[in-house]
Amino acid sequence: MKHTYNGKSYTLFNGAFNDATFSSTTVCKKRVGPIPRRASKVASLDAVIELLEDGDTISYPHYYRMGDNGLKAIVEQLRVHQKKGIIIYGNALFDHTDPWLYDAIKDGVIGGVYGNVYRAFGAHIMKGDLLPWKGVGFSHGNRVRKLQTGEVHIKIAFGPVPMADIHGNANGMMGKPEEWCGPVGLFSADTEFADYTCLLAGTVSQNLIFPASISMETVDFVVPFEAPGLASGIGSGTLDLERIRSKEFNRVIAANVTGVMKASGVIRNNMNFQVGSGAGLIVLDEIRTMLKEQKLMANFAIGGVTSMHVEMLEEETLRYLMHGQLFEPSDKVVQSLLNNPRHIEITAGYYASVANKEAAVNMLDVAVLSALEVDLDFNVNTVCANGRIIGGIGGGQDVAAGADLTIMFLPLATGKNGKGFPKVVDKVYTRTTPGEVVDVVVTEEFVAVNPSSPDSDAKARLLEEAKANNLTVVSMEELHQKSTEKALSMGVIPPKQETTDEVVHLIEWRDGTLLDTIKKPI
């Protein structure tokens, strides 16, 4: 059965690893422009914008997060040049885009946006303000896949960098420290498959710079741009270990997750792992302690990188650190990436694209991820809280599908203003990761193991060793009941938000099939 949205005819999701519906043919890369002659590529943003025609697609990465300044300037220039219906191929759109991005949509300058949206912009999508365009949420790997297969074609890829040379080489580790963004691998596929690539550079060097995380081979223009992004907008309080430990939920949930890893036997020599921020940082500290105590060395860690990862690299409890996105813009992390040969910058495609012949997420022995809610079939929701878009997908789908043991953690229930919210529900509001790739769900007191996920030695050992590691294993049905009971103890459980039949946002699976849709609330 096919559904057409934004001009794309979607195949419905039919399994996490369905080769029958998957095509990974990579398109040819278009070559535009004259034969190179060592000319400077420095240009004005005005001149680059003039290359666009109404309805073209531009792309822009999100690695500066709330500190980004470049996208607003581009949208302003699109307005000045009276461009209409431009599509933005993004990755994540945060609250700093409000209200100017929506104003550009209202005025017809922007015709639609791809990418995971958050809170303020998500509210516009839920109200139907972008219709007939539907929002499109996808994983890091899927974003690359769509470019590799030609599903999305970019006219101009715009990328902010702290420093570039006049020939188009750039990285995120040089230039002014306040503008460092670290890895720029989220932008790599854009530079490869766009007709034109334009860098917005905080500092422009007359001399070649290395490392060339972005190569002059794929760059057409270098635009001098004062403060394209600020590192201060990248950081997060979820990386403060002492602050994290001060919250009882984080301590308890981390202890339970650590117990699952011990019982499953994944803490071993040459293990590969990914853990997130928040309570995940306590888990990382526990992994580090166990590796030290047992005199082991993990092979690699991947995902958002912190100072603790760097310390593990230096003390050799970790052999390689694969770095795709900066979560902590500190001198310690950036200098390690610049100078330590075992601290490796990777692209989003290397990390997770299913259009490649292999991806790093498939090497993971264990992954620890967080969820907004889960349901009886172990389906996960990380995006929509009963009619409000508050989160995104990121690399969650890719990691869950790739890891040998995928652990999802969340509170049993939460409460606010006399209302109770169960987090284990009969059916998630929005399915962002299918249950078949989730092995274990962990709450403060209980653990549920998915009987329907692929069999593995880790899962079998977990069930055998759970009691010895003080884990209380229950069925998902029991966990659901306990979640409901706890929510009721906190207040009244609100009814599920009723909706119209009008689709406002799409959730794609990492192979491009349609996993779920979000409909406009009544």
Per-position DSSP letters for 453-507, written without gaps between them: SPP-HHHHHHHHHTGGGT--B--HHHHHHHHHHHHHHHSBPPPPPPEEEEEEEEE
Does residue 491 share a domain with residue 413? yes
Scanning 320-391, the segments in alpha helix (DSSP H) are: 331-339, 348-352
The pTM of this model reads 0.95
Q: For residues 246 and 237, what is the distance between their CA atoms, to the nearest angstrom?
A: 13
Alpha carbon dihedral 48, 49, 54, 60, in 10-degree steps, equals 90
* Structure confidence at residue 277 (pLDDT): 78
Does residue 175 share a domain with residue 56? yes
Q: Per the structure, how many domains does the chain have? A: 2
Does residue 317 share a domain with residue 188? no
Q: How many other C-beta atoms lie within 10 A of the C-beta of residue 449?
A: 21
Whether residue 291 lies inside any domain: the answer is yes
* Structure confidence at residue 238 (pLDDT): 57
- Strands (E) across 166-208 are located at 170-171, 196-205
* Structure confidence at residue 122 (pLDDT): 95
Which of 176, 206, 233 corresponds to the end of one domain?
Answer: 233
* Structure confidence at residue 30 (pLDDT): 67
Which of 233, 256, 279 corresponds to the end of one domain?
Answer: 233
* Structure confidence at residue 2 (pLDDT): 78
Whether residue 8 lies inside any domain: the answer is no
Does residue 211 share a domain with residue 143? yes
* Structure confidence at residue 426 (pLDDT): 97
Q: For residues 72 and 79, what is the distance between their CA atoms, to the nearest angstrom?
A: 11
* Structure confidence at residue 61 (pLDDT): 97
List per-block mean pLDDT (blocks of 10 residues) for the chain, which spans 522 residues.
90 92 74 80 98 98 96 98 98 94 97 95 96 97 96 97 98 97 97 96 97 96 98 76 89 96 97 90 95 97 92 97 93 96 97 96 97 98 95 96 97 96 97 98 97 94 96 98 98 95 97 97 95
CATH number, domain at 380? 3.40.1080.10
Does residue 323 share a domain with residue 344? yes
Whether residue 32 lies inside any domain: the answer is no
- What is the domain extent for residue 514? 237-521
Residues in the chain: 522
Does residue 358 share a domain with residue 463? yes
Whether residue 154 lies inside any domain: the answer is yes
Does residue 276 share a domain with residue 164? no
Does residue 294 share a domain with residue 219? no
* Structure confidence at residue 450 (pLDDT): 98
Q: How many other C-beta atoms lie within 10 A of the C-beta of residue 452?
A: 11
Which of 218, 233, 248 corresponds to the end of one domain?
Answer: 233
CB 200 within 8 A of CB 219: no
* Structure confidence at residue 20 (pLDDT): 81
